[in-house]
Structure 1
Amino acid sequence: MIIINILGGLGNQMFQYAFAYSMAHKTDAVVKLDIEDFSNYDLREYELSLYNISLDLADIDEIDKLKYEQETLFKKVARKLQRTSRPLSSYYYKESGFSYDSHVYELKDNVYFQGYWQSEKYFLDYRDALLKEFLLKDGLHQESRAYEKKINQSVSVSLHIRRGDYVSNAHTNSVHGTCSLEYYKGAVRYLQSNSHPTHFFIFSDDLDWAKENLNFIENITFVSLDKDTPDHEEMYLMSQCKHNIIANSSFSWWGAWLNQNEDKIVVAPKKWFNDTTINTNDLVPKEWIRL
């Protein structure tokens, strides 16, 4: 059995699930999801249950066997692990960075994986299947359907601005920071020059800031959904736009990746983290434009 730790916001959970799906099909092992950490995690909730996913959840006994017993072994060899890129424990494997790690496929059974796995290289071979896995089980709310209709009637561009905890949480801000207004101006100019969009749809957790600062865009709609509407519907609406301008956020990353327009243009920021020494070459698909 292989167990994949699931934790973080919706975008992170989707990366972890896509990695798990890939491991299940590349190794032929039984792969299950560990969501137990959400019981002590106040920032986010487990959100994959609204999707048409097929992998099962691990029970506490299965998690204890692969995670807690072998985590102790992992810590004993942690010093040696720093001197090698190869896994020393075939039971507990923790991601070491944001680059694609081909060694994971050498571990075919009795493994607990912990990490974010933020690269499509892990799961691009299963894109068609994952598009089905990430279909919403239930229909859209009426408000979302109205936005969807407007999106489908135009050469639409989603523009995502992530602020929220990227601004209010000191630690999160120190890691991620926010995309500059100049980035968005450059991205809009690029789309206007290359795709001739007719309408921009603005998605943000700080629409007041967006309304104050995006007055340089004509033909604009600020997407405002009811607080009871799950985030999944906002991501779905992003994916229905013809093109995407994303933030340094896994949430809008998935909105763009789920976009099935064969001629889509996706603009992503070059600066994904404040620490520019972090290698993000594998994080952003090579077809996307980085500004």
Structure 2
Amino acid sequence: MPTEKKKVVEQPKPLTGMWTVNAIGRLGNLMGEYATLYSLSKMNGRQAYILPEMHNQLSKIFKIRLPVLNRDVANRIKWRGYGLHDWMSEDYRHIEGEYVHFGGTPCSFTFYHHIKDEILREFTFHDFIKEESYAYLNNVRGDKKNFTFVAIHVRRGDYVHGMPNTWKGVVADNGYFPKAMDYFRNKYESLLFIVTSNGMDWCKENINNSKGDVHFAGDGQEGSPGRDFALLAHCNHTIMTVGTFGIWVGYLVGGETIYLTNYTLPDSPFLKLFKYEATFLPEWIGIPADLSPLLNNKQP
């Protein structure tokens, strides 16, 4: 009898080299940098390493798995610096170099959405954080069943002055939230909005809680954002304003996400660094910002 040919199973090629990325910014930026490094390294067949500064922050919250590069080693390597803009480009699929150090603060699904399951696995919360988040939500829910939680993140802080003065843009005003919240109120009978912010006093004054369906969580401090992030990420849907923190909440939650859009003037320098279509997923729902404060300031 003729012998059957055995099928040859090709083994994946081992990753080579040593690629890393800068650790700039706060939680949302670090997550974007991590996910981008993970994806680009895999795409180019290189081994990714993260710097200690990034590991120190992300490992407090997530079960990240990329190896950490010792700082003394990182300082002695002759890196090829490679700047990234905020969205995926075709030439990023063919990056040369054994030792590449990425710069920039990329945070766009266009880098990593094709391996979404792997990225979500990297950003798996530690078990104790999950337990704390669910315990908190169960406590505010009380005895109600079939309950829907909608995360609301309100970015204020430095953006309040930075957006109009530097970027010709605005942050979410008190007219944005009723539109976003009514979308969910019209779909769900039993729901609760969980609000976190670095401007909680403003939120309590400007987000209407006359229906009793708003819960203001957290103390509004920026020193420990992990708790707020985890709490929002365990909700069912998301309302975000601006910033990478809210973007990552929406990405991890899944569900429906409503976001503020068109929040800059057409001649904003921000648009040289940022693309709406590369930042917000196509299925997310955008509500245009009110730009009248900026337009009125232009008038004599």
Q: TM-score range by the shorter chain?
A: 0.7 to 0.9
Per-residue CA distance 1:16-47 (angstroms, 9 max, x = gap): 101111123222211112356x8xxxxxx951
SS in 2 for 1:200: strand
Q: Which runs of 5+ in 2 are unaligned?
A: 1-17, 288-300
Residues 1:222 and 1:171: Cα distance change in structure 2 (over 3 Å): closer
The CA deviation at 1:257 is 0.6
8 A contact 1:66–1:112 mirrored in 2: no
Residues 1:27 and 1:172: Cα distance change in structure 2 (over 3 Å): farther
1:115 aligned residue (98, 104, 113): 104
- Does residue 65 of the first structure (1) align with residue 77 of the second (2)? yes
Residues 1:111 and 1:197: Cα distance change in structure 2 (over 3 Å): farther
Partner of 2:30: 13
- Does residue 259 of the first structure (1) align with residue 259 of the second (2)? no
Backbone CA RMSD of aligned residues? 3.0
The CA deviation at 1:53 is 0.9
2:282 aligned residue (280, 283, 286): 286
Partner of 1:103: 91
8 A contact 2:36–2:106 mirrored in 1: yes
8 A contact 1:141–1:229 mirrored in 2: no
The CA deviation at 1:224 is 2.2
The CA deviation at 1:226 is 9.4
Per-residue CA distance 1:152-182 (angstroms, 9 max, x = gap): 9521111111112223x65896346421222
8 A contact 2:149–2:191 mirrored in 1: yes
2:166 aligned residue (168, 174, 183): 174
Residues 1:239 and 1:141: Cα distance change in structure 2 (over 3 Å): closer
Residues 1:228 and 1:188: Cα distance change in structure 2 (over 3 Å): closer
Say which is worse superposed, 26-35 or 142-151, in terms of deviation.
142-151
Residues 1:101 and 1:179: Cα distance change in structure 2 (over 3 Å): same
Residues 1:106 and 1:257: Cα distance change in structure 2 (over 3 Å): same
Q: Which runs of 5+ in 1 are unaligned?
A: 39-44, 68-90
8 A contact 1:246–1:269 mirrored in 2: yes
The CA deviation at 1:196 is 5.1
The CA deviation at 1:258 is 0.6
Report the AA paired with residue 259 of structure 2.
A
d(CA) in 2 for partners of 1:141 and 1:123?
Answer: 24
SS in 1 for 2:151: strand
Residues 1:143 and 1:66: Cα distance change in structure 2 (over 3 Å): same
Structure having the higher Rg = 2
Partner of 1:186: 179
8 A contact 2:30–2:58 mirrored in 1: yes
d(CA) in 1 for partners of 2:23 and 2:89?
Answer: 18
Partner of 1:221: 215
Partner of 2:235: 241
Aligned length: 256
d(CA) in 2 for partners of 1:246 and 1:259?
Answer: 12
1:164 aligned residue (153, 157, 167): 157
8 A contact 2:43–2:93 mirrored in 1: yes
Partner of 1:135: 124
Report the AA paired with residue 253 of structure 2.
N
- Normalising to structure 2: TM-score of the pair? 0.74
SS in 2 for 1:139: helix
